[in-house]
Structure 1
Amino acid sequence: MHACPYTPAHHFPRGKNDPGFRTKLQIAAGLATRAKAAGLVFRAVAADCAYGDQDSFRAALHAAGLPFVTALKPRHGTWAYGPHAHTPVDAARLLAWQDPEHPGDWSRIERTFRDGHTATWWAAEASLGWWGPDGNVRLVVATADPATLPAKATRYLATDLPRPGSPRVAESPHPPAALAETVRIYGLRHWVEQSYKQVEDDLGRADFQVRSDTAIQRHQALVNCAFSFCWNTWFAPPRPLRPPRHPDLTHCQAR
């Protein structure tokens, strides 16, 4: 697979206005497009919102024919008439919920985390501006508690994968994704991120941006190799156990 490290803006003569500078999201969109051109098949591109809400990123993926499941900031704003939802949080609060026995608009899903433990979450289709269950982009809300929408246990996801039964299924080049599948795809991003960051930190990530551009390139190559070796070892079948070695008693002599 291809890799391309991010070079901080201060390494360029004109900073972020330099024509050679690219944001992490621009790099990611380019890598995903190259992966598709190389024949790599994947279900969807998953991304968080750590670097801002990615309207241009999603547009680039859509133009390249790449499906996506990306996180939104809870206060990602959109224009709307009067009482209509203006943010993902507003949209989630409009969904009907009473209790687990009377979930209203919410569906129960079981999430499996990287350490193997499972937890019951709830997911629902919400509407925000042009986004909706049958729109070109869906807004999926997943949370551990629909009543309170806790900040650390609620995800607001934008995806162009159609929902099962949607009129868009016939025209979409991508297979539909139910609520549980959409949340699962985004959850895999955290699995990869946790493993990747552990390798980065062990190899000196704290010094990353103060190095020269050449050192950054070398450091990223080292990280990619280490990360790939770790995953290859993880997925490789275990080697057969060798039988224990016993001393050859026929050559033992009493002293």
Structure 2
Amino acid sequence: MTARRPCPPAPGPLEEYAARFDDLFFSLAQRRGFREYLTGLLAPRERNKTITCLAGAEPVAGAGTPGVQRLQFFLSESPWEAEEVNDRRLELLREQPATAPHDGGVIVIDDSGDRKDGTATANVGRQWLGRLGKTDNGIVTVTTVWTDGRVYYPLHARPYTPAHRFARGRSDPAFRTKPQLSAALAARAKEAGFACRAVVADCAYSVSDDWYLALRDAGLPYVVALRPHRGTWARSDQPHTPIDAARALAGTDPEHPGDWTRVERHFRDGHTETWWAADTRLGGYGPDSPCRLVVATTDPGVLPEKATWFLATNLPHPDAPHADTSPHPSADLAEIVRLYGLRPWIEQSYKQIKDELGWADFQVRSDRAIRRHQTLVNCAFSFCWDQWFAPPGPLDATAPDPCPDDGPERGPSRTPPAPTALLAQGLTGRPFLAHPRRHPPPVVASLDGQGPTLRAPGPDRRSHGRTRP
């Protein structure tokens, strides 16, 4: 068998990471394209990370240059499988002790939309775009993220195809709703070896019976938010909505807790918050039922809209009659609150893959090319975790500083505060090229100036018909 031709190496530590994928590409051009694409994604963001930007070419005028055409062919036409690349990425995450999944983490489900013009691009249509907070022409992708509050990384992604792009609309056999897609992705994550305590989702997914059934068939527990005013069948003298059930609980303040239990929430920056949680009854929900309704809030007397969660879960109550026979371990109120408190980490991952890695900057039309771009963005994200946990490399004192501090021509200079943590250890605190004295060759930029945030992000602020949990 003919020996493989050597591939031009990627910058710095990226070469070691990229080499782990080489057996998935059968040609030198593919291996080189993989390295060049990741390098472009991780490089400083000065403009949208289109193919011309990734290749370092001028917009529009440079579209015909060999480097741009090479990356375009790699993304759109070259015969390699994005699913195999993503499976290898997840395999590397499982093998790394610091990022390996465990039973204490969660699989978070969500979808995110981005503006796209025209109608020729696959999966694009007029639909609700959470990033913009309005209905517009764009593309929506359903994603899953694994997190335990310490690390977080994307698992799988699947673009949602609007019903109007099918010949028979929503009745077409190939059409899948977002809840159906998300449940399939969660089941796939479990099959891939990503253990979790529960699947967590916001209230957009709680209205789909197919979502609950798919998770039950996959043997996955869930903690999902309910809309506070979503009605359910009950007798006339009983509560009909989650917020009515919460108001029916006894207790209004810390001195008179009644049915409420004090829960301490701990955040990454070390501070804590006191919340109150309680099991309540609503229709078929109850602490002794297969599905519980848990209310968590900062103020039981007021039930503030932005700091009150109404959560449905099939994790049994510790004292429930079926707790010993349930396929899922029981969970107390503090555990339920902890699990749903991990949901905002998917919002944090969106900030990084979109604001730094160019998730929505692709300029390709086919569904296959879009999925390939998303897979490569996720590889760039995972590379940063790979470097975060890697020991720092040796210093090279002979290399010049690529970003000398000469100061601006006019105006006072502004020195940014030193970061307290970096996502890629030894790399720059801002999305600039890292100093080569840290790693021998020039290395690509870090993903985020602060790396993993020191405090869990706040609740979902998108006001698009989904009640803030």
TM-score (norm 1): 0.83
Contact 1:122/1:142, CA 8 A, preserved across alignment? yes
Q: Distance in 2 between matches of 1:201 and 1:171?
A: 46
Q: Distance in 1 between matches of 2:331 and 2:206?
A: 25
User: Counterpart of 1:5 in structure 2: which amino acid?
Assistant: R
CA distances 1:77-104 after superposition (whole Å, capped 9, x unpaired): 1011112111110100001113202200
* Structural mapping, 1:5-84, within 5 Å: 5-9=158-162, 10-50=164-204, 53-84=207-238
| SS, match of residue 139 in structure 1 | strand
* Structural mapping, 1:65-144, within 5 Å: 65-113=219-267, 115-144=269-298
The Cα shift of 1:223 comes to 3.1
User: Using a 3 Å threshold, how does the CA distance of structure 1 residues 217 and 206 change in structure 2: closer, same or farther?
Assistant: closer
* Structural mapping, 1:73-222, within 5 Å: 73-113=227-267, 115-204=269-358, 212-222=366-376
Q: Distance in 1 between matches of 2:212 and 2:357?
A: 31
**Identity fraction in percent:** 60
| SS, match of residue 82 in structure 1 | coil
Q: Distance in 2 between matches of 1:37 and 1:222?
A: 22
The Cα shift of 1:73 comes to 0.9
Q: Distance in 1 between matches of 2:287 and 2:221?
A: 16
Q: Distance in 2 between matches of 1:184 and 1:31?
A: 23
Structure in which a larger fraction of residues adopt helix: 1
The Cα shift of 1:35 comes to 2.8
User: Counterpart of 2:187 in structure 1: which amino acid?
Assistant: T
The Cα shift of 1:133 comes to 0.5
Q: Distance in 2 between matches of 1:124 and 1:62?
A: 24
Contact 2:253/2:299, CA 8 A, preserved across alignment? no
The Cα shift of 1:134 comes to 0.9
The Cα shift of 1:154 comes to 0.5
| SS, match of residue 167 in structure 1 | coil
User: Using a 3 Å threshold, how does the CA distance of structure 1 residues 81 and 48 change in structure 2: closer, same or farther?
Assistant: same
Contact 2:200/2:223, CA 8 A, preserved across alignment? yes
Q: Which moved more, 1:219-228 or 1:81-90?
A: 219-228
The Cα shift of 1:145 comes to 0.7
User: Using a 3 Å threshold, how does the CA distance of structure 1 residues 114 and 147 change in structure 2: closer, same or farther?
Assistant: same
User: Counterpart of 2:221 in structure 1: which amino acid?
Assistant: P
Which fold has the larger relative contact order, with Cα–Cα distance below 8 Å and residues 6 or more apart in sequence? 2
- In the alignment of these two chains, the number of paired residues is 244
Contact 2:228/2:310, CA 8 A, preserved across alignment? yes
Q: Which moved more, 1:62-71 or 1:119-128?
A: 62-71
Contact 1:107/1:123, CA 8 A, preserved across alignment? yes
The Cα shift of 1:187 comes to 1.1
Q: Which moved more, 1:76-85 or 1:29-38?
A: 29-38
Contact 2:359/2:374, CA 8 A, preserved across alignment? no
Q: Distance in 2 between matches of 1:210 and 1:73?
A: 37
| SS, match of residue 193 in structure 1 | helix
The Cα shift of 1:49 comes to 1.5
